[in-house]
Homo-oligomer: A and B are copies of this chain.
C-alpha cells in the first residue's frame, strides 16, 4: 500500500548504508571521538559558515531537545515555546521531567510572534512577584514548525533580536530542517540560522538517516561538561561512529540538501494534484507536510488504499489528515495517490 504517513517510514539513504558497509571493520574509538564524527563536524561547520560552532551528535529529536534545553537552562528557568511546539505537546513531558517548565506562547500556524514574545518578557520582568515565578531562560522554535510552516528571514531576525536584548538563548528544533531550507518559499539559509540562533539541531532521522541529530552550538557556547550531561541523560552512544558516518555522508556533496530538495519537489507535485482534485487544504505548507480537511466518509474510503496521519478533528464529521513526502518518495507514489483520489 502507498504510504505518506511520515518522513521516517523507510530506512536510510543508500549512500549512508554504503558508507556504513565500507567502514564497518575499521576499528574506531567510542563515544563520538572517532574520525568520522570529526569530519562530519567540519563539514557541518562549513555548511553553516560558522567556524566557531561546537557540534555534538545525538540519536533522536526528543532526546536532543531534552538534553540541550536542560543543559542550557538554569534550574529556576523554563523554556518559552509555542503552545503547539513539539516540546509542549508531543514529548511526554520530557522537558518537565528534567525539572523545567515550558512557558507557552500562542501559536500562529505553529509559529510564535515576535511581539507576543516581547510582551511576555516585558510582563514577566514588570511583575512584582516574578521571583515567585519561573524565569524565562531560553526560546524554543521549530523550523519547519509542527505544521510544516517556515519563519521568514525577517521573522527569525526579529525573534533573535528580542532574545539577544534579553540575553536569552534562541534554540531552533530542526527535526525537518532540510525540508525547510530547500523549500521554494524561504529566504532562510543555514548560515542565517547559525547567525540568529545560539543553538539548533540539524535533523537526520527524518531526512535520510537511520537515526541521528546534529546539535550545533554556534559560538563555542556549549554548556560545561556537556558530554557528561549527555551521558547522564542516557544519550551517549557507545558506537558514535554510527552518527558520525551518517552525517559525514549527508554533508558530502550536498547530499542532505539534494535529498531534501527532492522531497520538496514531490510535495509540490502532490500539492498541485491535490488542488486539481479539489481537495480542501486545512493548511498548505511550503515544506513536505500538507494538511487536508476531509469528510470522514471520504477519509475512511481513502484509508483502504493509502496510508496517512490523523491530525485533528475540527468537528464531528470532518478530520484533518497529514500527507508527508520525504527523501524517499517517488514520482510514481504521487501519481498513485492522484489516481486513488
A255 neighbours in B (Cβ, 8 Å): none
The answer to whether A76 touches B225 (Cβ under 8 A) is: yes
A135 interfacial by beta-carbon distance below 8 Å: yes
Interface flag for A59 (CB, 8 Å): yes
- A162 partner residues in chain B, CB cutoff 8 A: none
Quick check: A5 and B29 within 8 Å, CB to CB?
yes
Chain A count of residues within 8 A CB distance of the other chain: 81
Complex CA–CA separation, A97 to B134 (angstroms): 10
Which residues in chain A, 240-262, are within 8 Å of chain B measured between CB atoms? Answer: 241-242
Rounded to whole Å, the gap between the CB of A309 and the closest CB of chain B is 8
Q: Are B94 and A100 in contact (CB under 8 A)?
A: no
- Are A233 and B97 within 8 A (Cβ)? yes
A67 within 8 A of B: yes
Contact of A229 among B5, B71, B75, B224 (CB under 8 A): B75
Chain B positions within 8 Å of A74 at CB level:
224-225
A231 in contact with B131 given A70-B75, A93-B76 (CB within 8 Å): yes
Give Cα distance in the complex from A98 to B76, angstroms.
Answer: 12
CB atoms of B29 and A60 under 8 A apart: no
